Structure 1
């Protein structure tokens, strides 16, 4: 079992070799949200969109002929809230749902309801630790324990007990959180699905994320002849990545 990522330590934006993104007429950007486009916050609702980010993303979307997507663990509606009218496409809940354009219907990639008893158990479990949070999703849930790191092993043990004897749902570690989601759902499949249709088709995928859940997206982008990057392996911090992104295409 993979252990959850610890809280991200304070670290300076140390210089790393800057990647060479494809030119705008060839690139398709598929970007994670939390920990990449915004800094991790104590709760999902308390994240802040950095000043200038919307303008940067809008400019990149225009430069790349619309080939800008957000690939996130959040539901699509939350990205619409934080980045209204910005990305062309959004893959929500790690690819459980997909919206290929702002006016397109949301496609359910996979659907199976979460057993109601698990939701009741999750609510009871989170209530034991003040400040921990339960995040509900269409076909899953996340237990956040950033305010109580000691709750992490307790959450893991309880969830593993719920999942015993079935294979429809899986437990996944995230940054100071444990997530239950449908088996076989991951960001790599979301990247592959997005790249099948315009304005992404025929372009070079560039995926950037920060968490263990983003590794599938990195691998998918690279397998298609594109580029995949992780923070802090390739950019020291999310802020450093956003600063680099802000300068993309200015010399083109």
Structure 2
């Protein structure tokens, strides 16, 4: 697929398609909101909801959130905003606001791992265990010295099996089903209306977003990372507002 002549992104020198051809697939944490000490304490900036609603309007509804979070958490922070949501790195998809959540694959982590994870975070103050449908995350932002012990524990749990993988994130280690990543989610969403036939623009901020970047580019679109392409999440959100206001 050949990428059409793009327009430059203001203040960035990057490129994006015109709104009538664009489909936006956006990460949440670190992209639409700044990283917070814990997942439940992130703040949605004033004006972001209006920006996203405007973006959704000018792009014919082709706005999706592709996140590591469960879909229900996006509903909490961005109620009724995106057309579609891919949760837990593409483990689950909701293709429309009134659609059902579709599990791509369901396989919960062993109960023993969860018990040991709970015990582990209890030994390191200000760390957090985040449970997911088919995985878990150990957050150590509040206690950086827990990085190595958390990694060692996860690697010991995963030894001798290939159903789950360890993935680094920002001040966190995640256990995730093998073969599940944001690139799968981008491909699935771009195959359906209102995304199909448009040019994907994927924006994220973390190593877990690289699969989404690669998938968007493979589909003839654009994949950008913060801070490689935008210096901060705030700078990206300012560009997004400018894009919507000047369409």
Same-fold call, TM > 0.5? yes
Q: Is the 8 A contact 1:207 1:227 kept in 2?
A: yes
Instruction: Quote the residue 2:3 is aligned against.
Output: none
CA distance in 1, matches of 2:174, 2:60: 34
Q: Is the 8 A contact 1:66 1:88 kept in 2?
A: yes
Select 2:197's aligned residue among 197, 202, 206. Answer: 202
Instruction: Quote the residue 1:143 is aligned against.
Output: 138
Q: Deviations over 1:25-51 (max 9, x none)?
A: 100000000000000000000000000
CA distance in 2, matches of 1:249, 1:123: 44
Q: Is 1:161 the equivalent of 2:174?
A: no
Instruction: Quote the residue 1:126 is aligned against.
Output: 121
CA distance in 1, matches of 2:12, 2:42: 28
CA distance in 1, matches of 2:71, 2:219: 25
CA distance in 1, matches of 2:44, 2:68: 17
Once superposed, which parts of structure 1, at least 4 consecutive aligned residues long, lie more than 6 Å away?
none
Q: How many residues align structurally?
A: 238
| Structural mapping, 1:23-102, within 5 Å | 23-102=18-97
Q: Is the 8 A contact 2:164 2:178 kept in 1?
A: yes
Structure 1 unaligned runs (5+)? 1-14
Instruction: Quote the residue 2:208 is aligned against.
Output: 213
Provide the alpha-carbon RMSD of the alignment.
1.0
Q: Is the 8 A contact 1:16 1:236 kept in 2?
A: no
Instruction: Quote the residue 2:242 is aligned against.
Output: 247
Structure 2 unaligned runs (5+)? 1-9
Select 1:236's aligned residue among 231, 234, 238. Answer: 231
Instruction: Quote the residue 1:189 is aligned against.
Output: 184
Deviation of 1:16 after TM superposition, in Å, equals 5.9
Instruction: Quote the residue 2:6 is aligned against.
Output: none
Deviation of 1:251 after TM superposition, in Å, equals 3.2
Deviation of 1:20 after TM superposition, in Å, equals 2.4
Instruction: Quote the residue 1:3 is aligned against.
Output: none
CA distance in 1, matches of 2:15, 2:188: 24
